[in-house]
Amino acid sequence: MREPLIVTEGIGMCEEAALYVPERLTPQTPVLLMLHGMWARRTRWDRFGPFFSKHGFLAVAPTYRYHEKYNQYDPIGSKLGKTSTLDYVADAESVARALYCGKLLDGFIPSQPPIVMGHSLSGLVSRFYASCYPVSAVIPACSAPDAGQSLYQNKDYQKRARKNALKILRGKPFKPDVDSYSLYILNGMLEGLAPAEQERLRRSLYDAAVYESGTAAREVLAGSSAGLPRLLAQIGSRPIFIEAQNIRSPMLIIGGEIDRVTPPQIARDLYEKYRDWANPCDVHIFEKTAHWFQYEPGWEARAEFILDWINRNVLSPSHN
């Protein structure tokens, strides 16, 4: 497996970007821009990146600003806590701009706009990006909802989230405790393992997670939570609204059957919103899949499904 090319300069505020370069690179090479979600970095794509480059794509995975691993009391933490979801959109745009200006790969300029795939919070980022900039397709996966749609949080999740409520409302960096992270984020990674292996893996994955922006989380709550949490969030943040008619590109909306943090009903709601505008608009709920669709056991079959959808709906001659 070829190692990715890591770029740290000329990419705006992004910490770095991993470029998974195919063996043959031409202006017609399709570009897949892969955007990580909360508590993550570009390494969330280190399985999809090699897969898609092997199949002829230039896969680009940036790490958003302030998302390198650090202590929450480091001075950088105040900057992270105030970072908006729209700042992440700007980060994605800065990487794309560098690529399409020929500055990311020594004069290489793709002939077609990127396919933008965003995970979790970046499902929302990917749709906002697609509403503002040219894309060949947009693939929100296990995504946060648009403003006006529900988060579908159960009472246990709401109770656990309250532990970080003050950090979110005040725009501070935050991170769930290890038990909550394991139950709601890692459940697809841990099932079926022996207890000792399960504990080793969950601790390793939790320790690799980074702190996230309270402001970005507050923006989602302002648009999609209910009752008092929504009212409090709206004191400090405006919801992130997206006009469905501004996205006319192909869209594949992905959900996970056992995703506990962004339940599959969110994917179905997004489909209902965009079905009359994106062309085509498809939704697919992967069975026995939780939140880390691109990393959990069985990820290869999911990658194959996405590849087939792209080939049929984006790269086939009838769509060019």
| Edge-to-edge strands, sheet with 137-141 | 5-7, 16-20, 58-63, 31-35, 115-119, 137-141, 251-256, 281-286
Answer whether 66's CB lies under 8 Å from 76's CB. Answer: yes
* Alpha-carbon span 137 to 119, nearest angstrom: 15
Is residue 158, in this structure, part of any structural domain at all? no
Tokens of 85: 């979801």
Beta bridge partners of 59: 20, 32
Is residue 172, in this structure, part of any structural domain at all? no
Is residue 300, in this structure, part of any structural domain at all? yes
Neighbours of 55 (CB within 10 A): 16
- Note the pLDDT of residue 1: 67
- Per-residue model confidence as pLDDT tens digits over 159-174: 999 999 999 999 999 9
Which residue in 156, 174, 158, 154 sits closest to 166, CA to CA?
174
* Alpha-carbon span 222 to 287, nearest angstrom: 30
* Alpha-carbon span 7 to 106, nearest angstrom: 12
Question: Could you tell me the CA-to-CA distances from 245 to 55, 119, 130, 248 in Å, in that order?
Answer: 32, 22, 11, 7
Residue 79's H or E segment, with its range, is helix 76-81
pLDDT band at 305 (very low <50, low <70, confident <90, very high): very high
Is residue 101, in this structure, part of any structural domain at all? yes
Secondary structure of 81-128 in HEC code, one letter for each residue? HCCCHHHHHHHHHHHHHHHHCCCCCCCCCCCCCCEEEEECHHHHHHHH
Is residue 270, in this structure, part of any structural domain at all? yes
- Note the pLDDT of residue 75: 66
- Note the pLDDT of residue 68: 82
pLDDT band at 127 (very low <50, low <70, confident <90, very high): very high
- Per-residue model confidence as pLDDT tens digits over 186-216: 999 988 889 999 999 999 999 999 999 999 9
Is residue 284, in this structure, part of any structural domain at all? yes
Residue 141's H or E segment, with its range, is strand 137-141
Domain span holding position 112: 5-150+239-319
Is residue 42, in this structure, part of any structural domain at all? yes
Is residue 227, in this structure, part of any structural domain at all? no
Segment 224-250 shows an average pLDDT of: 96
What whole-number percentage of the chain has pLDDT above 90?
A: 92
Identify the CATH number of the domain in which residue 35 sits: 3.40.50.1820
Segment 234-259 shows an average pLDDT of: 97
Is residue 306's pLDDT more than 60? Answer: yes
pLDDT band at 2 (very low <50, low <70, confident <90, very high): confident
Question: Could you tell me the CA-to-CA distances from 256 to 16, 122, 159, 170, 237 in Å, in that order?
Answer: 28, 16, 23, 31, 29
Q: What is the mean pLDDT of the chain?
A: 95
**Helix and strand element counts for the chain (H, E):** 13, 10
- Note the pLDDT of residue 213: 96
Is residue 318's pLDDT more than 80? Answer: no
Segment 237-243 shows an average pLDDT of: 96
* Alpha-carbon span 240 to 237, nearest angstrom: 9
The total domain count for the chain is: 1
- Per-residue model confidence as pLDDT tens digits over 54-101: 999 999 999 999 998 665 566 677 899 999 999 999 999 999 999 999
Is residue 319's pLDDT more than 90? Answer: no
